[in-house]
Amino acid sequence: MIAAVFAPWASAATAQGSGINVSYGRWWRDGDAAAGTLTIAYYRHFFGPVDYGLGVTHLDDGQSPQDRTQTGGELSLAVGRDGSGPYAVSSAGLAMRHSDGNLDAQWSAGAGYAVRPVPFLSVGLEARYRVEDRDVRGFWRLDPDDRRGMMLQGRVALSFGSPARVPRRRSPPPLATVGRSEGGANGNGGEFEPPSEAEIGRMARSGGSSRDAAELAAQVVGTAIDLMGTPYRWGGTDENGFDCSGLIKYAYEEHQIIIPRVSRDQIRTGAFVEPRVDQLRPGDILGFSVERARVSHVGLYIGEGKFIHSASGGVRISSLTATDANSRWWQQRFVAARRIVN
Give the residue numbers marked as catalytic.
244, 297, 309
Report how far residue 337's alpha carbon sits from residue 273's, in angstroms, rounded to the nearest whole number. 5
b (16+ CB within 10 A) / e for 159-188: beebeeeeeeeeeebeebebeebbbeeebe
Report how far residue 96's alpha carbon sits from residue 107's, in angstroms, rounded to the nearest whole number. 15
What are the angstrom distances between the C-alpha of 270 and each of 16, 209, 260, 284, 341?
A: 25, 15, 11, 9, 8
Report how far residue 27's alpha carbon sits from residue 37's, in angstroms, rounded to the nearest whole number. 7
Which neighbouring-strand residues pair with 22?
40, 156
